[in-house]
Structure 1
Amino acid sequence: MCTTVSEVMTTDPIAVAPDAGYKRIAALMAKRRISAVPVVDGSGRPIGVVSEADLLARLREPRPALFAGHHAKDESRKAKAFLAKDLMTASVVTIDAGASLGAAAVRLARKDIRRLFVVEDAKLVGVVSRRDLLSTFRRPDEEIRGEIERDILAGTLRVAPGHASVTVDDGVVTLLGRLDSRGAVERAGALSNEVPGVVGVRNRLDFVWDDDGLVYPGLSTPEPRVAP
């Protein structure tokens, strides 16, 4: 299963040292066609980010000192800066390489940003963007169906052949058949919902006996999405 940030991120990210100069950073962004570059210390730990907006502070007219709040002072500092350590915004939004794609999507949305810097043991190892997360939805329906049949029904739930069927249409999964218990039915729906590329799940599975109230591993996740 492709479920972690490390599997969709861009590896070997472009980064600069704190003493990198203004013109070098600007040239690097233009050449690589990127809008921001992380600043890393000697151990590879991200300590800041220099964006196009940070570089453009040099071209903006400073606000009158009378109205100079924290933001204005920060702008003034960047307008006079020559090195990455003075140009950068010190707040770096990172995510662990082993985090789920869902966790990355939530963090991107909450911070209202386009990319996250990926770390492993506190060191920069990659960059994951909104586009990277959306790449999972390009998976073919047949590939999704095969993963659910093989890894979830046959592998995890040990469902005998012929007891359940899976169809996938434009990322929407439909589960049909009859399993031994309500818990197995709910788990089949929840696990299918986590498969990369799945847009929604129609769980039409029936069960033989109702074991409601028993706790099953893997059911601590939120309720699965159900397509209309």
Structure 2
Amino acid sequence: MDRSLVRDYMTTDVVVLRPDDGFKEIVRALADRGVSGAPVVSETGRVMGVVSEADLLHKEAFMPVAEEPRRYFASRSSTRAAQARSAADTAADLMHTPAITVTMDTPITRAARTMAVQGIKRLPVVGDDGALVGIISRADVMGVFLAPDEELRREVISEVIERSLWEDPERIRVEVRDGVVTLSGRLASKSLIPVTVALTQSIDGVVDVIDELSYERDDMAFARREQRRSLCG
């Protein structure tokens, strides 16, 4: 199946921080470009970590009001961890490491899921040598999930049901609502159900899959019996 990759959506004009960049330099760099975080990169171009607004807030939270304007960061924290982090003065001290990264050939849906699961807003994109080549953000991947429901339905039928499984589309009912695909009907064998669900989930734009599939033959039970027989052998 044709898959959208990170290379199709990433930004190559990246705000880059150096390990010895100071707090105010970091704030200025992010504010000037209107971004909420940036990768910290070594002299060889390798990603060392990421500094985000949240990292800077720990520092800002404990500064005297006269030292730094409050325009750019408004949140406050009073935890001990935040107070300890407020002592950091450079990108190397402030950054979160190791950085979670993706490659240019990572499927865009996997990048989106990674950001959702990890609760982060951006992922540095690295080449085969680990050097930074771009960055992808939540805003970059949102367009993937805007495909019309009917378009997704047609793709599930043509790419999954017909092309991959060679199944009669009349046997499998495909419904799509707000990107959520519901599959129902009867497949020839039980082992095809997880395959069908996985292939459907891999389609760009599919938000989730609801499995209501049944089967005619439990080929997995036969495989289990054969496995037990070989173990008892």
Report the TM-score when normalising by structure 2: 0.65
Flag the 1:57–1:171 CA change in 2: closer, same or farther, 3 A.
closer
| Residue 176 of structure 1, CA deviation | 4.4
C-alpha distance in 2, partners of 1:168/1:153?
A: 15
Q: Is the 8 A contact 1:105 1:130 kept in 2?
A: no
The answer to whether structure 1 residue 45 and structure 2 residue 26 are counterparts is no
What residue identity is the alignment partner of 1:28? A
Report the equivalent of 2:15.
Answer: 14
| Residue 43 of structure 1, CA deviation | 2.1
* RMSD of aligned Cα (Å): 3.7
C-alpha distance in 1, partners of 2:136/2:102?
A: 11
Flag the 1:88–1:207 CA change in 2: closer, same or farther, 3 A.
closer
The answer to whether structure 1 residue 91 and structure 2 residue 83 are counterparts is no
Q: Is the 8 A contact 1:179 1:208 kept in 2?
A: yes
The answer to whether structure 1 residue 35 and structure 2 residue 42 are counterparts is no
State which of 112, 121, 129 in structure 2 corresponds to 1:114: 121
The answer to whether structure 1 residue 54 and structure 2 residue 52 are counterparts is no
| Residue 40 of structure 1, CA deviation | 1.2
C-alpha distance in 2, partners of 1:18/1:106?
A: 25
Q: Is the 8 A contact 1:95 1:104 kept in 2?
A: no
The answer to whether structure 1 residue 164 and structure 2 residue 175 are counterparts is no
Q: Is the 8 A contact 1:17 1:40 kept in 2?
A: yes
C-alpha distance in 2, partners of 1:207/1:73?
A: 58
Aligned length, in residue pairs:
202
Report the TM-score when normalising by structure 1: 0.66
Structure 2 unaligned spans of 5+: 65-79, 224-233
Flag the 1:158–1:102 CA change in 2: closer, same or farther, 3 A.
same
C-alpha distance in 1, partners of 2:49/2:201?
A: 36
The answer to whether structure 1 residue 190 and structure 2 residue 198 are counterparts is yes
C-alpha distance in 2, partners of 1:91/1:22?
A: 17
Q: SS where residue 132 of structure 2 aligns?
A: strand
C-alpha distance in 2, partners of 1:203/1:73?
A: 48
Report the equivalent of 1:142.
Answer: 150
What residue identity is the alignment partner of 1:154? E
